[in-house]
């Protein structure tokens, strides 16, 4: 079974999307661990290691997606974590392209279907193992 960590890094308190995606992934057969609101990059990294997940999903609606993702990637590198990351939120196309260029496996914006997210996460997890 594929294990997914869903995290809400930063100070943004909007977690409806993260909860909807977490439930959809669970309903699609994934095991999902949701960290809750206001996670630091260090907390996301620690949970990734402790929960031994296959994929990490980040939900960011504050507009701080670039610095938060870069900080999480830096923590992953520092701790030797090589898990794939996908990001969801209201992310401009240029920023989505920058995130993908930095190694993010997928970026989902408004209108992404839950089926598309589950299918993509399945592919990402399968290709990283």
pLDDT tens digits, one per residue of 54-90 = 999 999 988 899 999 999 999 999 999 999 999 999 9
Which residues is 33 bridged to in the sheet? 5
Contact 86, 110 (CB under 8 A): no
Domain ranges of the chain: 3-128
Q: Give 128's pLDDT tier (boundaries 50, 70, 90).
A: confident
- Tokens 């949701």, residue located: 34
- Tokens 């993010």, residue located: 104
Architecture of domain 3-128: 3-Layer(aba) Sandwich (3.40)
Q: How far apart are CA 8 and CA 116, in angstroms?
A: 20
pTM: 0.96
Which residues is 31 bridged to in the sheet? 3
């Amino acid at each position: 079974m594929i294990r997914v960590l869903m995290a809400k890094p930063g100070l943004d308190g909007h977690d409806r999307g993260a909860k909807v995606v977490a439930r959809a992934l669970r309903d699609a057969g994934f095991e999902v661990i949701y960290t809750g609101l206001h996670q630091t990059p260090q907390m996301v990294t620690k949970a990734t290691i402790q929960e031994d997940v296959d994929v990490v999903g980040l939900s960011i609606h504050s507009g701080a997606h670039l610095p938060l993702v870069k900080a999480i990637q830096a923590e992953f590198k520092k701790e030797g974590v090589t898990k794939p990351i996908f990001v969801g939120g209201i992310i401009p196309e240029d920023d989505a392209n920058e995130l993908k260029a930095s190694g993010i496996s997928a970026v989902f914006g408004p209108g992404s279907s839950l089926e598309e997210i589950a299918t993509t996460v399945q592919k990402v997890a399968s290709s990283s193992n």
